[in-house]
Amino acid sequence: MNAPPYVVVPQYLHEPGLGMVRDVARVEYWPEESVMPREKLLAAVATADGILCHPPARCNRELLDRAPRLRVISNVAVGYDNVDVPACTERGIIVCNTPGVLTDATADATLALMLAVCRRAIDNDRFTRSGNWHYWTPRLLLGQDLTEATVGIVGMGRIGLEVARRVRAFRTRILYHNRHRRPEVEAELGAIYVDLPTLLAESDFVCLHVPANAETRHLISAAELAQMKPTAYLINVARGAVVDQKALAEALKAGRIAGAGLDVYDPEPIAADDPLLSLENCVLFPHVASATLRCRQRMSELAARNLLAALAGETPPACVNPEVLKN
Helices (H), 142-292: 158-168, 183-189, 196-202, 222-227, 245-253
Pick the stretch among 77-85, 113-121, 122-130, 305-313 that binds ligand GLV (CB under 6 A).
77-85
Q: Which is nearer to ligand GLV, 66 or 158 (CB)?
A: 158
Q: Which is the catalytic residue, given 120, 177, 182, 239?
A: 239
- Regarding 77 and contact with ligand GLV (CB under 6 A), the answer is yes
Phi, psi of 146 (to 5 degrees): -85, -35
How far is the C-alpha of 291 from the C-alpha of 289, rounded, in Å?
Answer: 6
Pick the stretch among 28-36, 56-64, 71-79, 86-94 that binds ligand GLV (CB under 6 A).
71-79
How far is the C-alpha of 242 from the C-alpha of 240, rounded, in Å?
Answer: 5
Is residue 268 part of the annotated active site? The answer reads yes
Mark 122-161 with x for binding to ligand GLV (rule: CB under 6 A) and - for no binding.
Answer: ----------------------------------------
How far is the C-alpha of 321 from the C-alpha of 309, rounded, in Å?
Answer: 14
- Regarding 79 and contact with ligand GLV (CB under 6 A), the answer is yes
Name, in order, each residue with C-beta under 8 angstroms of 236's C-beta and a sequence gap of 6 or more.
208, 220, 242, 243, 260, 261, 262, 263, 264
Is residue 165 part of the annotated active site? The answer reads no
Pick the stretch among 57-65, 76-84, 170-178, 192-200 that binds ligand GLV (CB under 6 A).
76-84
How far is the C-alpha of 236 from the C-alpha of 293, rounded, in Å?
Answer: 22
Q: Which is nearer to ligand GLV, 177 or 239 (CB)?
A: 239
- Regarding 240 and contact with ligand GLV (CB under 6 A), the answer is no
Q: Which is nearer to ligand GLV, 194 or 288 (CB)?
A: 288
Q: Which is the catalytic residue, given 177, 287, 296, 305?
A: 287
The helix/strand/coil state of 91 is helix
Size of the site for ligand GLV (CB under 6 A): 6
Name, in order, each residue with C-beta under 8 angstroms of 83's C-beta and a sequence gap of 6 or more.
59, 73, 75, 95
Is residue 180 part of the annotated active site? The answer reads no
- The total number of residues shown for the chain amounts to 327
CB 70 within 8 A of CB 64: yes
Pick the stretch among 2-10, 75-83, 189-197, 317-325 that binds ligand GLV (CB under 6 A).
75-83
The helix/strand/coil state of 66 is coil
Residue 283 forms beta bridges with which residues?
261
Instruction: For the segment 2-61, give every residue that binds ligand GLV (CB under 6 A).
Output: 55
Write the DSSP string, 154-185.
E--SHHHHHHHHHHHTTT-EEEEE-SS--HHH
Instruction: For the segment 101-120, give every residue that binds ligand GLV (CB under 6 A).
Output: 102
Q: Which is nearer to ligand GLV, 77 or 304 (CB)?
A: 77
Q: Which is nearer to ligand GLV, 74 or 290 (CB)?
A: 290
Pick the stretch among 10-18, 72-80, 122-130, 144-152 that binds ligand GLV (CB under 6 A).
72-80
Q: Which is nearer to ligand GLV, 79 or 259 (CB)?
A: 79
Minimal distance in Å, beta carbon 73 to ligand GLV?
14
Whether residue 230 has a cis bond before it, omega within 30° of 0: no
Interacting residues toward ligand GLV by CB under 6 A: 55, 77-79, 102, 290
Q: Could you list the active site residues?
A: 239, 268, 287
